[in-house]
Structure 1
Amino acid sequence: KVIDLMPDRVHTWKARIERFSDPTDAVKFEPGRAVSIDGDDYQVVHAKIALARGGLFGKFPGHGQQRDFLPQAYSDFIYAIIIEEMGIVGGIFVLLLYIILLVRVGMIARRCDKLFPKYLVLGCGLLVVVQALTNMAVAVDLIPVTGQPLPLVSRGGTSTVISCAYIGIILSVSRFGANMGNEEETPEEGEAVAEGGTPPEGELIADATLDTTSDKPFEAAAEAPVSKENPLEAVRTIEETTTETRI
């Protein structure tokens, strides 16, 4: 009676769990009669056919047949089509991509100094990876059908937008929370100044300043340092010292 008061979707969830826990085979073989696979387990049966046809290296992209018969072949059961066309090797490769994403999220969380960005990046990463693992488990008939798409792979507008938002939050935390990718190159001490750059502070000036009359460098000018506070003071000091030298 409680289930009758629930939304209609609850009845679908109950039926999926009952079909998954039913020990009898979904496909019944009767001698002399054609095998029928159009029952309630239509999706699961065709997903198993796609897995069986895949083999080790698959039928290669574009040569799968179950995508024409399997409902939601491009969203809920896209992983079964991937295995059919790319084989077990392709399926393991897709699985490893999500595992690498989870490991990377853990590395970002470890470098966060504050708790909020740490928990934020872990939450977003787990939402993406757990949803992907759930979709893969449904495709290989490990858990009942859930209707969860494969993040960043399955077709769908809302799912793609939400997945992109998760990835954007992870990238933002990695840059501003974990300070990854912001390493600035600092020039080493004593490194030569590039052409057109500013010379180091404290460097003596007028090393190449010549007297227009004798073409010889001013001895007093070479001893006058650059003023760090006001450049005009340095110019005034040079003019006074060079005038005294001429006198």
Structure 2
Amino acid sequence: MTNEPEYLRRAIEISRKAIESASKADMPSRIAESNWKIAKTYDILGEHIESANNFRQASESYVRAAEKIPQLKDFYQDLATYMKAWSEIERARQHHKEKKYGMAKDRYEKAAELHKATERWSYLSSNYLAWARLEEAEDLSRSEQTQESRDIFQQAASLFSEARESIKNKLKTIETGEERRIAEGLVKASDVRREYCLGRMALEEARILDRQGDHLASSRRYGQATERFQ
């Protein structure tokens, strides 16, 4: 899929027409699939609220599919929970964009809980819990709670390491191409996020030392933080 906005919006319209057809035929799983496609497209466009709304609609349609086809109930319920988790992730991203880090933390915590409740995607729970801690640390830093912020950045760094191992172990059994590609991307991204957290931790420590009057040690920690961000 090209990321040209014009093409993406045209793809959304095509998926909306598919929803109309699937609605007339009373095919909730097809409706859910189209809402899922729309949600992913809005995510690429950076329109996180629209994306969240479509993930929620996909979740609701998968719930209906589970009711309609009892023999596939567990499969569709898992998908419904996964879509609900993604709705929370998109809202977290919007809150982060608005610098509402505390609200982003709450959304990521819900996303982590929902992932944990699925059979297929439970291995991703630690990744979103790490994101929740990162947002919490950002919120504490913004309110000048430097000591607490440093400690939570440290927790986030550890959680990103755990998430990396969890995803890496699961990679051995992932069969679908798209899910494997996403998982591989998350393994690489976990390293980047861990380094960011360690850099922010060093920055918070530098601020603490500066307030204590230890300017030489503070300067060294600022230098170490800068190296982490390069």
Fold shared per TM-score above 0.5: no
For the superposition of Structure 1 and Structure 2, which TM-score range results when normalised by the shorter chain? 0.3 to 0.5
Report the TM-score when normalising by structure 1: 0.31
**Structure (1/2) with the larger helix percentage:** 2
Report the TM-score when normalising by structure 2: 0.33
Higher alpha-carbon Rg: 1
